[in-house]
């Protein structure tokens, strides 16, 4: 979503120049853009979306304006209502057991297993 020139957000960022806030605004706009795309793709109006969220249409309209600070709680509610992830987070570590268990008592051996080495995925 691109705001017109000389809007309140761009003006504030130029005056204050906080990189963290600039990054937050960028992410906020990306999430709002993704939501608007999904609503259009699914032929879902903002009013219908607001009903799914249990919110008023005016509140949802404010969220989707791009100038409202979205909370993780509100983003999660929107993810549930849209049945999709708006933010994708990949696990940093992946664990793999490289070995075998021989003989009887497999379940007992699995329960008694202690990790001795953890391999971190470098990718």
Q: How far is CA 13 from the centre of its chain?
A: 24
Flag whether 104 is in a domain.
no
Flag whether 112 is in a domain.
no
What residues have CB less than 8 Å from 67, skipping those under 6 apart? 8, 9
Length of the chain as a residue count? 123
pTM: 0.60
What CATH number does residue 37 fall under? 1.10.260
Q: What is the pLDDT along the chain (123 residues), one digit of tens a residue?
A: 455 566 776 676 677 777 887 788 888 999 999 999 999 999 999 999 999 999 999 999 999 987 788 999 999 999 999 999 998 877 666 555 556 656 676 667 666 655 544 545 555
Flag whether 37 is in a domain.
yes
Flag whether 49 is in a domain.
yes
Task: Look up the domain containing 36 and give its range.
Answer: 8-82
Tell me, letter by letter, the H, E, C secondary structure of the chain.
CCCCCCCHHHHHHHHHCCHHHHHHHHHHHHHHHHHHHHHHHCCCCHHHHHHHHCCCHHHHHHHCCCCCCCCHHHHHHHHHHHCCCCCCCCCCCCCCCCCCCCCCCHHHHHHHCCCCCCCCCCC
Flag whether 123 is in a domain.
no
Flag whether 78 is in a domain.
yes
pLDDT in the model for residue 114: 54
Flag whether 97 is in a domain.
no
Domain count, the chain: 1
């Amino acid at each position: 979503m691109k705001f017109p020139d000389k809007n309140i957000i761009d003006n504030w960022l130029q005056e204050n120049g906080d990189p963290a806030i600039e990054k937050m605004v960028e992410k906020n706009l990306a999430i709002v853009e993704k939501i608007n795309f999904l609503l259009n793709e699914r032929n879902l109006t903002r009013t219908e979306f607001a009903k799914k969220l249990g919110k008023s249409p005016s509140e949802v309209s404010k969220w989707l304006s791009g100038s409202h600070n979205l909370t993780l709680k509100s983003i999660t509610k929107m993810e549930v209502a849209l049945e999709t992830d708006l933010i994708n987070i990949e696990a940093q570590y992946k664990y793999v057991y490289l070995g075998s268990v021989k003989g009887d008592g497999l379940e007992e051996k699995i329960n008694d297993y202690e990790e001795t080495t953890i391999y971190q995925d470098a990718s």
